[in-house]
Structure 1
Amino acid sequence: MRYRRTSLRLPDELPVNPLFARQGERRVPRYSLGTDEMLPETAYQLIHDEILLDGNARQNLATFVTTWMEREAEQLYAEAADKNIVDKDEYPLTAAIEDRCVHIIANLWHAPDSHAALGTSTVGSSEACMLSGLALKRRWQRARAAQGKPADRPNIVFSSAVQVVWEKFANYWEVEPRYVPVTAERPCLTPEGVLEVVDENTIGVVAVLGITYTGAYEPVADIAAALDDLHQRTGLDVPVHVDAASGGFVAPFLHPTLRWDFRLNRVHSINASGHKYGLVYPGVGWAVWRTKEFVPEELVFKVAYLGGQESTFNLNFSRPGAQVLLQYYNFLRLGRRGFTRVQQATHDVAETIAHGLAGMRAFEVMWPGVDLPVVCWRLADGHTGNWDLYDLSNRLRARGWMVPAYPLPKNREDVVVMRIVVRNGLSGDLAHLLLDDVADGVKFLDRLRERMPAEGRTTSSFHH
């Protein structure tokens, strides 16, 4: 929950505290470029003071994005802030480290040959999704052309609980989105739902390893098996892309026997966010293809740039290299055992929170963090008519906690839930303090003798 600022425009001039301003810097324009220079200390202090009103990132339990790294990682971040990763001729070691990360991730996801896999870093998982979807579309178009069939009506299949980036992909690249509705009985994408909507124009099926709403894994292996059977029966060959934005750096360590990755031949590509459970500050994502054949050659550009010839398959060109180095730092620093230890700790905290919430008669815990360390709950039926979860979210916001309340996807919009994303940095001690604040919020709201007034109340949003 966030309090919205009013639409009233702030004064055109920004007052400057005379204690850190020099003569002539007492007032500066807020919405236009000033005439004169300003001392660096003054510019820093102005911005520093203004962002004090932002929330505490460690208490932001709405986001999946990393909000804490070690001091050594922050030092490395500062040292590498000026590196442009596209300039591989100028920064060859940064380019080599990006390549190593791709092979490490391909190996982690059980590519048949991690050196034969193709991959790239991206600004985040959203760009990785766009690239993966584009590769699916182009391969489908190639196959249709080879068969002499029309290629003007592509579609892509996913559940109605999919993250909004896939809606954007379908819109931007002119692909029909085919949503498989989630229901109480089918809360995620299922093989049956997929088979109901795929056809010869389907460029691919997107299965999500960690639904944004709930943290649940969709059954990738079952979906792949159903498509394998469809291929054998009909000749229809539909690939799977796994959106592992969050689960890609959790499942390999906490659910190592779960078959969701390149162990399934039907899976052609996978994306993940390094800046989520890859434990890196925003923003870095990864897109990896099983083998190079799954990326059409015309999508990979070779360009002369900054002193050399580079191969690039990205939507962005110039972009920071520091986050890629931080990803490699985590790989070196943690290894398999370290990643397992860190991710298990987040699961343990999620279990503590789920257990604490289940002990409060006001709530029904719907998803207790079994897959991703994400806890999702609703207001118990009949508990109260005087307040709802939006009101509780507001109470927690007053204590600094950002815990969103929101309706479930289409067909389940009548169910409003709250969700906590447990990330590295939310300790067991903080979890107990959070539960105390939840209990205090419920106690306060339960004392209301009439309905909480709607004026001033806001709805929440959650973050991918």
Structure 2
Amino acid sequence: MARHEDTYDDRYGTEFLQRPAPDDRLPRQGMPAVDAMRLLGEELVLDGIPMRNLATFVTTWMEPEAQRVIAENLHRNYIDHAEYPQTALIEQRCIRMLADLFHAPGPTTGTRTQGSSEAIMLGALSLKWKWRQRREAARQSTDRPNLVFGGDVHVVWEKFCRYFDVEPRIIPLRPDRLTIGPDDVEPHVDENTIGVAAVLGTTFTGHADDIAGINDLLVRLRDERGLDVPLHVDGASGGFVWPFLYPDTKWDFRLEQVRSINVSGHKYGLVYPGIGWLVFRTTDDLAEDLVFYENYLGKRDATFTLNFSTNASMVLAQYYNLVRYGHAGYQAIMRTMQANAAELAERIVAAGDFELVGEPGAEQLPLVAFRLAGEHAYDEFDVAGQLAGEHGWMLPAYSLPPNAQDVTVLRALVKQTLSRSLADTLADDLAHACTTLDAKGGLHERERRRVKSGTGY
């Protein structure tokens, strides 16, 4: 094939701007590296700005030194313990540090995961396997396992039940009660219950289930009825918050029925996605049947994950954060976020358009959950749309789970990147969005009228 003649597009790297992005098939020929990089940049400019994303719990900023650690270890395969023994050692250091932070009573075990979803799947599988062992030892049926949790959990809990044939016993929420406690749990527990899951920091309002109360209930059921039902704490968001903001609150292994805890390193653990952790109270709480021993690349290893090959960079980034910040550093960061969340909440309420959602004064993640107060010609979804279109903030609006689905909430995550100055700006922008909507009505008023008149979809 003859070489095509030199053009200005070739010379200055702009030819890709005149073509549609490759879509449904591999292009016959490639393009210069700088063009490929610029093509991606042009595509991604349509995404939201992560620093303005108040919806995600996931970390959107790390220090330059941490970014360097990540970049220099993306090629290192976490699972190859024979080739990268120090990486495996660092993973175990992280697990021991977390076990100590969660007050494990002695030597224990755990694993790194892609995130809390994988950690929850593994933790719940261990609950099922341990329940089955107990039932088989007692020569009782193992064909009807159930798992008890509230409507305030992440969808992964329902996924586990569907994928692994466990009956979900979901406790509905109420408009005046957006977490669960022992009185809610007790009617659902029986001899087929593999465990109870409680949430430390819900994604809906940031509050915690009454974990201590549920633990006391399970202790009583064990002592009075012989039902030894373990408690798993879903600390995906709260596991890196409560130890530093509410250190005297007992939610972890200080409670005797808490057998396992998951936490997301890529949320308030301050690491980019994806990294999660699963920690057991003792080594006996991990069902041995779930551990596989394999001789791979010259070393016999135990593996306890749903995934296999992945880069080691986020494990190393987690260790970087743990040694970089230490207890005092994490506490200072959490207190800063908490203070900015309190200031933002005060400003939002003072403007007069909104009221906070959830129990006033309760322990909470650094976030603000709020809804419109009084009558308005628009709703929370309109506010979110106006705020995004006019000011670029990504503020989620959503309805709560059954039986609180009539409550619609706006939620602002307050993370390291939301400074006091930006929190003040957000409060001002919210007030301005409401002023604009007061003048023009809701963004979706035509659709709302059609639905109310019965002529909607």
What is the TM-score with the length of structure 2 in the denominator?
A: 0.92
1:410 to 402, 417, 435: 402
1:391 to 375, 382, 392: 382
1:311-326 equivalence runs, <5 A: 311-326=302-317
Residue-by-residue CA offset, 1:335-381 (whole Å, 9 max, x unaligned): 11000000000001100110011112211112478411111111112
SS of the residue aligned with 1:310? Answer: strand
**1:460 counterpart residue number:** none
**2:295 counterpart residue number:** 304
2:180 to 162, 169, 189: 189
Q: Report how far residue 231 of structure 1 moved.
A: 1.1
The whole-number CA distance in structure 1 between the counterparts of 2:348 and 2:19 is 51
- Do structure 1's residue 265 and structure 2's residue 241 form an aligned pair? no
**2:326 counterpart residue number:** 335
1:23-422 equivalence runs, <5 A: 29-113=22-106, 116-367=107-358, 370-382=363-375, 384=376, 386-398=377-389, 399-422=391-414
Is the 1:389–1:405 contact (alpha carbons within 8 Å) kept by the matching residues of 2? yes
Q: Report how far residue 391 of structure 1 moved.
A: 0.7
**1:20 counterpart residue number:** 13
Aligned length: 438
**1:447 counterpart residue number:** 439
Q: Report how far residue 232 of structure 1 moved.
A: 1.1
Matched-pair identity in %? 46
SS of the residue aligned with 1:409? Answer: coil
User: Which residue type is aligned with residue 28 of structure 2?
Assistant: T
Residue-by-residue CA offset, 1:399-454 (whole Å, 9 max, x unaligned): 11110111111111111110111111111111111111101101101112688434
- Do structure 1's residue 423 and structure 2's residue 415 form an aligned pair? yes
The whole-number CA distance in structure 1 between the counterparts of 2:20 and 2:150 is 53
Residue-by-residue CA offset, 1:53-92 (whole Å, 9 max, x unaligned): 1100011000100001011001111001111100011111
Q: Report how far residue 307 of structure 1 moved.
A: 2.8
Is the 1:110–1:261 contact (alpha carbons within 8 Å) kept by the matching residues of 2? yes
SS of the residue aligned with 1:53? Answer: coil
Which has the larger share of helix?
2
Q: Evaluate the alpha carbon distance shift between residue 309 and residue 213 of structure 1 in structure 2; reply closer, same or farther with a 3 A threshold.
A: same
User: Which residue type is aligned with residue 430 of structure 1?
Assistant: L
Q: Report how far residue 247 of structure 1 moved.
A: 0.4
The whole-number CA distance in structure 2 between the counterparts of 1:27 and 1:129 is 41
Q: Evaluate the alpha carbon distance shift between residue 27 and residue 415 of structure 1 in structure 2; reply closer, same or farther with a 3 A threshold.
A: closer
Q: Report how far residue 297 of structure 1 moved.
A: 1.2
Is the 1:376–1:418 contact (alpha carbons within 8 Å) kept by the matching residues of 2? yes
Is the 2:55–2:396 contact (alpha carbons within 8 Å) kept by the matching residues of 1? yes
Is the 1:25–1:38 contact (alpha carbons within 8 Å) kept by the matching residues of 2? no
**1:436 counterpart residue number:** 428
The whole-number CA distance in structure 1 between the counterparts of 2:297 and 2:428 is 56
The whole-number CA distance in structure 1 between the counterparts of 2:77 and 2:110 is 18
The whole-number CA distance in structure 1 between the counterparts of 2:363 and 2:183 is 23
The whole-number CA distance in structure 2 between the counterparts of 1:452 and 1:78 is 44
Residue-by-residue CA offset, 1:133-187 (whole Å, 9 max, x unaligned): 0000000001101111100000000011111000000000100000111113432
Is the 1:61–1:403 contact (alpha carbons within 8 Å) kept by the matching residues of 2? yes
Is the 2:152–2:199 contact (alpha carbons within 8 Å) kept by the matching residues of 1? no
Moved more, 278-287 or 407-416: 407-416
Q: Evaluate the alpha carbon distance shift between residue 450 and residue 212 of structure 1 in structure 2; reply closer, same or farther with a 3 A threshold.
A: closer
Runs of 4+ with deviation above 6 angstroms: 22-25
CA RMSD in angstroms comes to: 2.0
Residue-by-residue CA offset, 1:22-48 (whole Å, 9 max, x unaligned): 699956642210111221111111001
What is the TM-score with the length of structure 1 in the denominator?
A: 0.91
Q: Evaluate the alpha carbon distance shift between residue 263 and residue 24 of structure 1 in structure 2; reply closer, same or farther with a 3 A threshold.
A: closer
**1:461 counterpart residue number:** none
Q: Report how far residue 311 of structure 1 moved.
A: 0.8
Q: Evaluate the alpha carbon distance shift between residue 27 and residue 419 of structure 1 in structure 2; reply closer, same or farther with a 3 A threshold.
A: closer
Residue-by-residue CA offset, 1:215-238 (whole Å, 9 max, x unaligned): 001111111001111111111111
**1:462 counterpart residue number:** none
User: Which residue type is aligned with residue 59 of structure 1?
Assistant: R
Q: Report how far residue 254 of structure 1 moved.
A: 0.7
User: Which residue type is aligned with residue 422 of structure 1?
Assistant: V
SS of the residue aligned with 1:311? Answer: strand
The whole-number CA distance in structure 1 between the counterparts of 2:171 and 2:378 is 33
Is the 1:209–1:216 contact (alpha carbons within 8 Å) kept by the matching residues of 2? yes
Q: Evaluate the alpha carbon distance shift between residue 449 and residue 36 of structure 1 in structure 2; reply closer, same or farther with a 3 A threshold.
A: closer
Q: Evaluate the alpha carbon distance shift between residue 294 and residue 17 of structure 1 in structure 2; reply closer, same or farther with a 3 A threshold.
A: farther
User: Which residue type is aligned with residue 334 of structure 2?
Assistant: Q
